[in-house]
Chain A
Amino acid sequence: MERRVYTPHSNIRKPWLMFGEMLRDIRSGQDLAVRLTIRDIKALYRQSFLGLLWAFIIPLGNTVTWIFLNGSGIVSLGDTGIPYPIYVFTGTMIWAVFSESLLAPIKKINANKATIAKVNFPREAIVMSAIYESLFNAIIKILILVVAVAAMGYSGSWSLLLLPVGILSLVLAGTAIGLVLTPIGTLYSDISKGLPLLLQFLMYTTPVVYAIPDGGLTGKIVNNNPLTPLVCTARDWLTGQPTPFLEGYLWVNLGTIIILAFMMVVFRLAIPILVERMNA
């Protein structure tokens, strides 16, 4: 028979026991994670007339805005290599994949607050479900993208096969950063309020709507931004361009996996302390 013991001691003092329990919970929470994901996706689209179309309506709107800005000459966006409309449309869609993944953990916690505060289930299921939902949304976007880009005559031949890997990296990186913000974000609403600002800042320091500047401070920042290899490599695979950031891309992925693993531990330890103050 399963035995659970609760004491005031930090679980981190017995790391092996904790990792064992964590792996067990990740496995036993699998079923639940899938179910939560299906539930949230169904609920998201059931009360909507346009349904899945929302996945690209907003990026499309952004694209139109930037095409207009570029065409009118108000801002100078540099040489993008590929036609600008394709560059900005792929950029905003890929960026949307990342930013939705970043927001997903906090959103999931808040949506399931009542359940988390009252029912003891494998907490890892929440994180898994956040990842699954982000992946689902990403797949919808990518299907639209691939069709749209191919229609404009820029389908990346064999490199399209690598695109799912690129998307997975974006989702995991977003989730990892989202998880870093979750513990404090659950306590203080300041985090949720500040997130759009942070995301905007990140977007303008990543080559989403403009090409990487050749030099200067901006060029330096953009070149050293760990998100740059993620976004550029995904776009290059999609449009069949050379991938100058491949090495950086691999390093960023390694970092993502380390942060993600670390944050899963943090998340596990944090939940009881957060539940105490959740009061849903």
Chain B
Amino acid sequence: MERETLVKVDHVGKKFCRDLKRSLWYGVQDLTSEFLGMNSGENTELRSKEFWAVKDISFEVKRGECLGLIGRNGAGKSTLLKMLNGLIRPDKGRIEMNGRIGALIELGSGFNPILTGRENIYNNGSVLGLNKREIDAALDEIIEFSEIGKFIDTPVQYYSSGMKVRLGFSVAVHMKPDVLILDEVLAVGDSGFRMKSFNKINEIMRNAAVIFVSHSMPHIATITNKILLLEKGIADYYGEDVSEGIDRYFSEFSGYNPRIEYNDFAQLDELNIQPSTIYTEQSKNSIPLIDYNDELVVNLRLKADPKYKELHIKFLITDKDLKNVGIYDSFHLDEAIMNTNGWMDVEVRVPNCIFINGEYAVTIFVQDRDKVNKRWNMLACYRYWRKFKVRASKGLGVVPSVVYLPGKLHQSIEV
């Protein structure tokens, strides 16, 4: 059966004004032209100090689909959501929304701090479009899901921020929407509740069209099956290849800027990461490519203050999310560099590079171990000094956030 299209967005655009005073004045003008019926359609002229916050966006979401809306801060995501939710009107194009719309743009908006959790469930529910009977029916489930327990009859002002969020989320997901708009709502709450929320969203998704906004790419990768990447109001990518969309999102960041954090007692001269042999050609004049499970070879040239006799090298490997994914530490492996008081050439070999596809940065530390006082002396730190990319040649590691584990299969067959 062909699934029905619940959200249809057609060449939509929205202008905003940078200047507050002017924006208010334009507001007065817009009010006037609205009442006189002068807004005949395409207001495509930009007035002074205006810009397109969202420009020429088109997409569709069907029942059972989840669209991931990603982009940097200020890319136009929230503006687009506000238009979808009918809070503000587009200046161009057309938006069609079918069925009951549930939007979680900010959880617990409309909570009154003086009233109790229970009273707020009723208030919030009716703001979201439920009548009293429907709320009565869902009340126990809402309270149970929110894990508020006996605090339900306590004024909301005494709730922790996590409790408020849980209550807000719980009310919103129990309204059985056809279209569910989620704006960055899973960023809050503890991980236990987050898991629960995920499952709930998955459950709702079966019967609804979901639009999910998040800066957390692992979340996007797990629950969406379509991506719209916004950059300065324009669609940079729209399609069903989720990992392609995520990749492009990451490449929008010039990333971690390499910088020398500290080099008072040791200096690096050169540092090279060798690309895998199969990628030698492709890696010329660009970031070295390493094959999955291949050897990671780093060559460096360094010099240190003569007062330190033994030097330790440490690499900290960071992914695009700035998450530390690996550490190499020579001290850990009982190895050290003897200080010759001149320039020294060193090669470090890490046998298996088992990172998933993506770009990584290497931070280099040069350290000295003070054995008497049992402490570390930092000699140099070169933050995000070099980058490398992992690309699996055998089609492994294509799913972001998952490491492919080595393993052997053995089947015992009884005759």
Contacts and interface: CB of A to CB of B under 8 A. Distances in A.
Contacts of A12: 34-37
B103 A8 contact: no
A42 B98 CA distance: 36
Given A7-B41, A46-B114, A269-B31, 7 more contacts: A5-B97, A8-B41, A31-B126, A43-B115, A119-B103, A119-B105, A121-B127
A35 interface: yes
A106 B131 CA distance: 26
Given A35-B126, A114-B109, A121-B127, A275 B23 contact: no
A112 B110 contact: yes
A269 B34 contact: yes
A55 B131 CA distance: 31
Given A32-B126, A43-B114, A269-B34, A276 B88 contact: yes
Interface in B31-65: 31, 33-43
B128 A119 contact: yes
Interface string A27-71: 000011001100100110011000000000000000000000000
Contacts of A269: 31, 34-35
Contact of B103 (A36, A42, A120, A277): A120
Contacts of A10: 33-34, 37-40
13 contacts: A7-B93, A8-B89, A10-B38, A31-B131, A115-B127, A118-B87, A121-B127, A187-B24, A272-B86, A272-B87, A273-B27, A277-B23, A277-B24
Interface string A180-214: 00011001100000000000000000000000000
A47 B37 CA distance: 46
Contacts of A13: 37, 40
A36 B115 CA distance: 12
A9 B39 contact: yes
A2 B30 CA distance: 28
A121 B109 CA distance: 13
A272 B79 CA distance: 12
A258 interface: no
A6 interface: yes
A270 B31 contact: yes
A274 interface: yes
Contacts of A188: 24
Nearest to B110: A115
B220 interface: no
| Complex A-B, nearest 5 residue pairs according to Cβ-Cβ distance, in ascending order | A115-B110, A10-B39, A6-B95, A12-B37, A32-B126
A184 B31 CA distance: 9
B76 interface: no
Contact of A275 (B33, B88, B123, B129): B88
B93 A1 contact: no
B119 interface: yes
B301 interface: no
B99 to A, nearest CB: 5
Contact of A35 (B16, B40, B82, B122): B122
Interface in A7-29: 7-10, 12-13
Contacts of B94: 5-7
Given A7-B41, A9-B40, A188-B24, A117 B34 contact: no
Contacts of B30: 273
B91 interface: yes
A32 B127 contact: yes
Given A121-B129, A266-B35, A1 B98 contact: yes
A120 B42 contact: no
Nearest to B179: A4
Nearest to A116: B87
Contacts of B128: 119, 121
A183 B35 CA distance: 12
A36 B23 CA distance: 30
Interface string A67-89: 00000000000000000000000
A12 B110 CA distance: 30
B31 A2 contact: no
B119 A4 contact: no
B28 A184 contact: yes
Nearest to B30: A273
B282 to A, nearest CB: 47
B88 A8 contact: no
A6 B86 CA distance: 7
Contacts of A117: 87
Contacts of B90: 6-8
B85 A43 contact: no
B153 interface: no
Contacts of A275: 82, 87-88
B378 interface: no
A118 B102 CA distance: 11
B83 interface: yes
Nearest to A9: B41
Contacts of B43: 8
